[in-house]
Amino acid sequence: MAWALVSAIKDQLSSFITSEFTSIANVKGEVQKLESKFHTIQAMLNDAEKRQVKEEAVNIWLYKLKDVSYQMDDVLDKWNTAMIKAEIEKQQKDEEEKAETSAAKKRKVWPPISIPNLFQHRDIAHKIKDLNEKLDEIDREGEMYEFVLTRGNEEVVERPRTTSFVDVSKIFGRDKVKDDLVRSLLGKGSEEEINPHVISLVGMGGIGKTTLAQLVYNHHEVKVHFEKKLWVCVSDPFDQCRVAKAIVQAFGGGDSNITELQSLLEKICELIEGRKIFLVFDDVWTEDFTSWEPFRLALQNGAPGSRIIVTTRKRRVAEMMESASIINLEELSEEDCWSVFSKLAFCDKNFEECKQIEDIGRKIAKKCKGLPLAAKTLGSLMRFKKSREEWEIVLCSSMWEFEDVERGLFAPLLLSYYDLSSPLKQCFLCCGVFPKDYGFSSDELVFMWMALGYIKPRANMEMEIIAREYFENLAIRSFFQDFVKEEDDDKIKYCKMHDIVHDFVQLMSKNECFTINSDISLGVDYKNARHLQLELLKNAKFPESIYSAKTLRTLIFELQGSYNLSTLSQHFRCLRVLTLCYEYPSMLRELPNAVGNFIHLRYLYLVNYCGDALPETICNLCNLQILHIDLVGGFQKLPQGMDKLINLRHFKLDCNIARYPNINFPRGFGRLTSLRTLNHFNVNGEDDSERCKLGELRNLNHLQGTLQINGLGKEVDQCEAMNAQLKKKINVRTLKLWFHLDEWDPKEITRGMDALVLNALEPPPNLEDLSILYYKGPTLSPWMVSLTNLKKLYFEGLLIEHLPPLGKLPALTSLTIRMINRLKKLGVEFMGIEESEKEKDDISITLFPNLITLKFYKLREWEEWNENGGEEEEDCTRRFVIMPRLQHLSIENCPKLKSLPNFLCTTPLQHLEIYHCQILEEWCKRGTGEEWPKISHIPNINFDPLYGRLHVAEGLSRMLDRQWRMLTRQKRAQSLQY
């Protein structure tokens, strides 16, 4: 972690040397000295980080170094902040001078800020000189420890060599996966089978991958099935010649003196040709395909039915080796974990001794959370502890407080840890601020890493993409588990960390990451704390001891009562990440003006915020990158000076209401050209001089993900809609267009204006999800059928009489039509059947080719659904294939609908729901209704709304997210008793 921190400071100093400051303040020499010293010290850090776990003196030395690095980071950030504010003020003054109205001249947020003055220069110069002296002392002290100098993340942990030998009597809980794996090994080969046939066992260190491989390697059926078998501990680095020699010797090639890889591989081809072989490549780390490719090609010479088992901690390795199957090894059950533990712990104890301590033993085994290595290690530790008191001490202690446990259990995790790059180590260790069993949001982690400056920039690559890649890297290395994924793109949304991994993180980030869940004084020194989560129950006393954490970077504040937040800014001026989470029924009713003092802040997350506005002082946070507000009340307006947040990349409003939030956005919002996330944008305001117009979106071309535009119609005209330039927002995937709700039966002029506005709001061509609500125009825009990537389409509250030819949309999978009261018929225009196509007898046309879900709600005047437009049914069926993938059809509150289309007979429908449609329900009666033949093939038909699907409001997804978090907290609270 220190390596990444020092490296980042070095990069900042390099750019600082060329800045205006060094020439004005004449401190260029001091900064160059600092840069040189950081470079020298960086060479010692790998050895120092290896030795810190065992040598307390080295640990203290590292803390001193990191402390100076953090201080340097703060000094540089203060200077950069002053320069940013000065530039903002200059731009503001230039604009005010050009403005023709007095209203623009009145808009000020903070007192005038001039270019940093001589006093500020001297202050920073003094601090740099002071830090140089501290670094001199640290450098001299480092010489005492005789660190081994390295240039990068070189090998720092000895990797143990594994063998195929195993004591089967001590293995529990792997019978099913073992039997399945044996069946795969014994399966008959075929010409179609990939050769070599690779099966990968993937999982975190200590989960039992090697043990499972040993079990099947020694299985009696496996022994007789293969002509030759071989166990190779590959480890890291991947030594091609060593592995090749091992294969040659095992397959009868003698004690080869060949040293050339080419010759060794030729010998392998010769020895295995036509023979059914079984290889185990244990503990593979390399992701480099070029290292594996020569072996893959050589091993193709084995006979069909040959097998290779690979064990690895990294899923990417399994994918690189083109595995025919990947087995993600899960934790043991609680009972199996107890069996592993008790076999060792009770080995030398009599029945009475075992009986006296079994209850504590089960609780200790439960701490292992299904990890076999943990059960073995703790079982071995408890074997020589006789008294109940000794067992209770272990139960109440952290894993890493015992040297034997630390050495046996954490050694495999250290291997995984040191395999990480320096930035990944930083990201991984800061997860120690969260409590055990915490449900991580992947977005939350990504934003946090960005705010803390852990993301190493790459040319032409978005910071968010790099951060997401970091997260995926940690996930595929089995540092995270219990994944909850997005429905659409399989992206990980939530995950957890195994308790043993969490203990390891706490060990490695000791004295920097803290989690406090009580007001009891723990006698802990928080002076070196950088990341802190504080969870306070209602009426609990605030632990003032944390005020000593003056250089805190992350504060996650979870409250169930009230607290004077102004106090925070007096003590934690270095914060980069601030989360204020008020647990229901508590709410954050007001954000104090003092929030503007957190000048270093990058990430502000407010949960359960019920204030009506944000303080204007929040606009002082010119470094802010992420502003995320979870609203639960009548929030009304954003600060007028919000356009000063020029570094804001993500502005996210979560609203626990079905309709859009009626929040006043400030004029000038379009200056936030760094924005990537803007899930809500409101067009509103009565005063034209302050009104946020739709044209503010014009230059926000970095927007991505979801964009919901609220308040269309009324003051919005065609010209303003064209100024928004939605077509240029090529990374926006979901677009929601909300028109005003206040005119249910508008005049024709209003309807015409809405039509012009919608037509001008042509979305980007890559759009995948479109919603249009309360639009009053007579027809929908022609650009709709050109959205060839559109997957989801939602209409609500429209006044159109006909739907466009949606059957032409090739990617559409979900269509919802709700509350279109003027719609009476669905026919050829909806299907997309053109007159010219009706005359073509020699071609078959597919309409709605990928539609899976179709829903109709509250279409009060809908009477007819006819796909053939008066054409003979047989001709229509022959020429057109309609909805060939339809799975789910729902029709609700359509009282005048009399029939269903004939093409339903040919669809693969699995679910049909018809609610509150009196006429249609009568005609669809099972066995007797005239429409029954059209739907009789559908396995699930439902007419009972109480039994059927639950109406899911727009805020339900967020509510489920909260419930998921709440359940993890409850589970965590229950575990505290152990």
pLDDT digits (tens, 9 = 90+) for 758-786: 999 999 999 999 999 999 989 999 999 99
pLDDT digits (tens, 9 = 90+) for 217-239: 988 888 889 988 888 888 877 88
pLDDT given at position 948: 45
Tokens of residue 57, six digits? 């003196």
Render the burial of 677-699: b for 16+ CB within 10 Å, e for the rest. Answer: bbbbbbbbbeeeeebbbbbbbbe
pLDDT digits (tens, 9 = 90+) for 421-469: 888 999 999 999 998 888 889 999 999 999 999 998 888 889 999 999 9
Least confident range from 137-141, 739-743, 796-800: namely: 739-743
| Better pLDDT: 404 or 813 | 813
Secondary structure (H, E, C), 345-361: HCCCCCHHHHHHHHHHH
pLDDT digits (tens, 9 = 90+) for 265-295: 888 888 888 888 899 998 888 888 888 888 8
pLDDT digits (tens, 9 = 90+) for 556-590: 998 877 777 888 888 899 999 999 988 776 778 88
Asked if residues 494 and 483 have their Cβ atoms less than 8 Å apart, the reply is: yes
Spatial separation of the C-alpha atoms in residues 251 and 261, rounded to whole Å: 17
pLDDT digits (tens, 9 = 90+) for 732-766: 999 999 987 765 556 666 678 889 999 999 999 99
pLDDT given at position 201: 92
Answer yes or no: is pLDDT of 523 > 80: no
Spatial separation of the C-alpha atoms in residues 596 and 598, rounded to whole Å: 6
- Name the band, by pLDDT with cuts 50, 70 and 90, for residue 866: confident
- Name the band, by pLDDT with cuts 50, 70 and 90, for residue 870: very low
pLDDT given at position 449: 96
| Better pLDDT: 750 or 598 | 598
Give me the mean pLDDT over the 381-394 stretch: 80
pLDDT digits (tens, 9 = 90+) for 933-973: 999 999 999 987 664 444 443 444 444 455 445 444 444 44
Sheet of strand 481-485, all strands in order from the earlier edge strand to the far edge: 440-441, 492-496, 481-485
pLDDT given at position 972: 44
Asked if residues 231 and 164 have their Cβ atoms less than 8 Å apart, the reply is: yes
pLDDT digits (tens, 9 = 90+) for 618-677: 999 999 999 999 888 778 889 999 999 999 999 999 886 556 667 889 988 999 999 999
Spatial separation of the C-alpha atoms in residues 100 and 154, rounded to whole Å: 64
Asked if residues 615 and 593 have their Cβ atoms less than 8 Å apart, the reply is: yes
Spatial separation of the C-alpha atoms in residues 68 and 442, rounded to whole Å: 31
β-bridge pairing 626-631 and 603-609: parallel
Length reported for the chain? 978
Positive or negative, the CA dihedral 718, 723, 729, 733 is negative
β-bridge pairing 853-857 and 888-892: parallel
Answer yes or no: is pLDDT of 890 > 90: yes
pLDDT given at position 734: 95
Amino acid at residue number 310: V
pLDDT given at position 908: 94
Answer yes or no: is pLDDT of 541 > 50: yes
pLDDT given at position 798: 92
The chain-wide mean pLDDT, for the chain, equals 81
pLDDT given at position 971: 45
Tokens of residue 151, six digits? 């240039």
Give me the mean pLDDT over the 50-63 stretch: 78
Answer yes or no: is pLDDT of 28 > 60: yes
Tokens of residue 878, six digits? 């022959």
Answer yes or no: is pLDDT of 70 > 70: yes
Give me the mean pLDDT over the 817-831 stretch: 91
Spatial separation of the C-alpha atoms in residues 516 and 434, rounded to whole Å: 10
The pLDDT > 70 percentage for the chain reads 80
| Better pLDDT: 873 or 310 | 310
> Nearest 10 degrees: CA dihedral of 264, 265, 270, 273?
150
Give residues with Cβ within 8 angstroms of 885, minimum separation 6: 849, 850, 851, 852, 908
Spatial separation of the C-alpha atoms in residues 655 and 661, rounded to whole Å: 7
Answer yes or no: is pLDDT of 60 > 50: yes
pLDDT given at position 17: 55
β-bridge pairing 880-882 and 325-328: unpaired
pLDDT given at position 153: 44
Answer yes or no: is pLDDT of 111 > 60: no
Asked if residues 164 and 195 have their Cβ atoms less than 8 Å apart, the reply is: no
Helix (H, G, I), strand (E, B) or coil at 188: coil
Q: What is the DSSP string of 563-616?
A: --THHHHHH-TT-SEEEEEEPTT--B----GGGGG-TT--EEEEEEE--SB--G
Which of 786, 833, 782, 787 lies closest to 804 in space, CA to CA? 782
